[in-house]
Structure 1
């Protein structure tokens, strides 16, 4: 089948001692190899897909138990035997035309088909079987670890587990001043729920909610993972970053925004609940 591979290898490329790109080398069933180069944003999309499939695999493991676990182990023992070697020339002189410009996901029952647009405008597919996901994640993590670059981990951790949809200025009484971050539907479908976030600051008049955001994520509500995500949102949004240059938040509030499974919320369906949450929370702060 087009896009399938029987083995892989990974390595990171550095520039001025910082992460520049990840090289993914795949071994095809005909024994030929194919190289792909992913810079930070494309790597985020790939990792989002792999993490989403890991959640599916976890449910499958819970349902099928030891038989599925044994199947995974046996598959990966063979999978790792087909690891292609990487030549230093592939890292020192990467082929620009093999850089992945964008990824689109076509999910399947037990696999993911990635539609890749390369820098030379060629379109290719890469099919990742669910059996391959865990080892792929391990290989990517090891390649990133080898860079010794903490910044790339900070970037990935800020982006992988959420999608920023709206950043909102709540200091204006009349109109909601917002910035939208459009996202493709396939990305939105990777996450389970919408979350409204409010940022509260100390002011001369007391505690005031100055800004807010709407994201989509899958991490549990009111969890440590959610706290980690929302605390990094300001750095991801130029609008929020500008608003809080002089006044850093002292409290952060969050609420689930109701949505049906698979439904894409409109602008109003996101911002109206956020504004209601703002009014309710500010009232409590004023009490």
Structure 2
């Protein structure tokens, strides 16, 4: 087992930091990279040899991506977080700096960088795109963590940069983020992302996403949407209260308000979903009851409408 990186022989770290490393282009199945003089390997931003002024431990090994980009890391941290010796690649048998490299033949640098951002949470994330392509790249990178024996939910915790980065996609890609959270059993992310799914029509949820999130998280999402829809319909089903009869508005006259309220409910039924906004409800009710002239009926309508909107706003919004 490795020792704490702060107790390592600093000369080994120094040799790695200042060596000029290259690899053969034809490496295929070997787990450790070989040294060559054919090409200098570019270094990934944020994972270079210099750790001065950062919270990263001194590097003791180099990871080399599929597209020949190097990442300086430390063996101790990788082994501490992994439950399978980093997919059986560590520990390296040699302490010589020239041999302390691992070539990851299937892992491109863009995805390896995400893996290491999950591990080294204090390294700033520079990407700022919010397209679906950016999210899918992030999902692929995160998906490598279990391969290396690192449970996703053990390193991507609330308020960590990658957690926040994943959550930033939720307004535009809510179901994709929720599905990713479910797939990796990230309850905190699922709970936080789920309100963004409320306007999504679950009838259009494709089988791939449903399968990806798993039955437990799918059931939780279905239950949330069903509870909200049935709650709103139940609230709307109750018409405004009657008021004391007056010369201008007798009991039979007040049935006009109830009829127009029910008309507005009928209009909303085809539009109601778990994410129905209060403005749509108010607009529908007000437009369908605009012919009401009795002040007492108007007050009864407004009281019922405000009660509906207040209870709707308080209805559960997350799984």
When the two structures are superposed, what TM-score results if normalisation uses the length of structure 1? Answer: 0.28
**Where is the helix percentage greater, Structure 1 or Structure 2?**
2
**Where is the strand percentage greater, Structure 1 or Structure 2?**
1
Larger RCO, structures 1/2 (Cα 8 Å, 6+ apart):
1
When the two structures are superposed, what TM-score results if normalisation uses the length of structure 2? Answer: 0.26
Larger Rg: 1 or 2? 2
